Amino acid sequence: MVVPGGAVNGQQATLGVMGGGQLGRMFVQAAQRMGYFTVVLDPDVISPAGLVSHYHIRTDYLDQEGLAQLMQRCAAVTTEFENVPAAALITLGAARPVAPGADAVAIAQDRAREKAHFVRCGVACAPYAVIETAAQLEGVADDLLPGILKTARLGYDGKGQIRVRTRTELAAAWQQLAGVPCVLEKMLALKAECSVIVARGWDGVMVNLPLQLNLHREGILAVTQVHEGNVSPVLAEKAVAATRAIAQGLQYVGVLCVEFFVLQDDSLIVNEMAPRPHNSGHYSMDACDLSQFDLQVRTLAGLPLVQPRQHSPAIMLNLLGDLWRDGVTPAWEQVLALPGVHLHLYGKLKASKGRKMGHLTVIGATAAEVRATALAAAAVLGIESF
């Protein structure tokens, strides 16, 4: 256990994070509130997390000297994005507690391995085929079309994905993706998208946040709604149980998000998992007594996990770089004049289309009140209604 203000094996109570983006920044801020020193390893000299951390190691994720510095300074290490090389986590894990571990991260980095894990856990996913060779491409079953061809590795926020309707389009898409290993998923008629975040400790204790109803635009999360009535209690219970089974099957330690599709018949299938805090859980910073980043700190440090409680209905709006039209700052003063609004900006110095610059959380006494305020905020900012 890494006790705040204490020391472990001669190490000061310092927690490290691989990655310097906004998720790392919010982890660092949560850790600092609890009295920890923090270290960020990220090559970007102006990374959002590096700018607020006590220490910033500016090296590549596989740089041996950088990893040695991280191990020297930290009592335990986490990661803020799934594409941190698993090899780096193996190196760190040989000397320090690392959560999540390299094995779990490696599975999340590969869609084929990820889907195989879902199947082992008894959690339904869309019909799919792995395509690594021309022969596998030729052997794809007709009933998988139309579908979505996704790169097996390094895809996120809709990147590395192409919709295909015919075999000709499938072959062209595979060539467009440079013939790398891919997964073809059958396209299904969706009713909704949702996600569940769990936290599992070193001792196997597991807690979860409520089910989150999500809306994506162009492959990027736009809106998350978390309140009673957003989905049926039965569906929420199934999603939570499936997420816990996936985490348990990995013997996972840390915060894990699992995303689901809800089909037209209200059945549930798993989409993918993220071995870290997730955009859809940001509302928890304002609407729950423990945020997903508080849970990340607790799991890494071996501190007790208690079930988070949501005290207010919430809607989260993603703030993308598109809002900084022609370099003009959005009208924050108008937005902050609305009741129950909480603005979180990530300290990024350059806005660009599709780049996550921050988020807005709206909380209130009732779901109707929150929705009305969130729609008003969206109108002020020029965000498409929902």
Residue 46 lies in a domain: yes
More confident residue, 4 or 91: 91
Could you read off the pLDDT of 31-56 as tens digits, one per residue? 999 999 999 999 999 999 999 999 99
100 cis-preceded (ω within 30 degrees of 0): yes
User: Are 211 and 185 in contact, with CB atoms under 8 Å apart?
Assistant: no
101-137 as b/e: b if 16+ CB within 10 A:
bbebbbbbbbbbebbebbeebebebbebbbbeeeeeb
**Mean pLDDT value across residues 120-133:** 95
Question: At which of 153, 170, 186 does a domain end?
Answer: 186
Q: Report the CATH number at residue 87.
A: 3.40.50.20
Label residue 155 by pLDDT band (50, 70, 90): low
**Mean pLDDT value across residues 215-237:** 94
Per-residue pLDDT, 153:
87
Residues 252 and 296 in one domain: yes
Per-residue pLDDT, 300:
98
For residue 237, give its domain range: 190-381
More confident residue, 10 or 333: 333
Pick from 24-28, 43-47, 77-81, 152-156: least confident: 152-156
Whole-Å CA distances, 329 to 65, 321, 369: 40, 10, 27
Residues 253 and 368 in one domain: yes
Q: Is pLDDT of 236 > 90?
A: yes
**Mean pLDDT value across residues 273-283:** 97
Residue 45 lies in a domain: yes
**Tally of CB atoms within 10 A around 244:** 20
Residue 110 lies in a domain: no
Please state, in angstroms and rounded to a whole number, the distance separating the CA atoms of residues 58 and 256.
Answer: 27
Question: At which of 164, 186, 208 does a domain end?
Answer: 186
Residues 15 and 70 in one domain: yes
Label residue 156 by pLDDT band (50, 70, 90): low
- pLDDT > 70: percent of the chain: 97
**Mean pLDDT value across residues 179-189:** 94
Q: Report the CATH number at residue 167.
A: 3.30.1490.20
User: CB-based contacts of 10: which residues, under 8 Å, 6+ apart?
Assistant: none
Per-residue pLDDT, 10:
47
Per-residue pLDDT, 159:
73
Residue 141 lies in a domain: yes
Per-residue pLDDT, 3:
81
Residues 62 and 39 in one domain: yes
Q: Report the CATH number at residue 224.
A: 3.30.470.20
Residue 122 lies in a domain: no
Q: Is pLDDT of 162 > 50?
A: yes
Beta pairing class for 37-41 and 14-18: parallel
Question: At which of 186, 219, 254 does a domain end?
Answer: 186
Residues 133 and 279 in one domain: no
Residue 2 lies in a domain: no
Per-residue pLDDT, 269:
97
Sign of the dihedral defined by the CA atoms of residues 56, 57, 59, 61, in that order: negative
Per-residue pLDDT, 6:
58
More confident residue, 337 or 86: 337
* pTM given for the model: 0.94
308-317 as b/e: b if 16+ CB within 10 A:
bebebbbbbb
Residues 178 and 164 in one domain: yes
Per-residue pLDDT, 7:
57
Per-residue pLDDT, 158:
60
Per-residue pLDDT, 136:
95
Residues 135 and 261 in one domain: no
Residues 256 and 324 in one domain: yes
Residues 156 and 77 in one domain: no
Residues 175 and 314 in one domain: no
Residues 286 and 313 in one domain: yes
Residues 173 and 205 in one domain: no
Average model confidence (pLDDT) across the chain: 95
Residue 322 lies in a domain: yes
Residue 107 lies in a domain: no
Domain count across the chain? 3
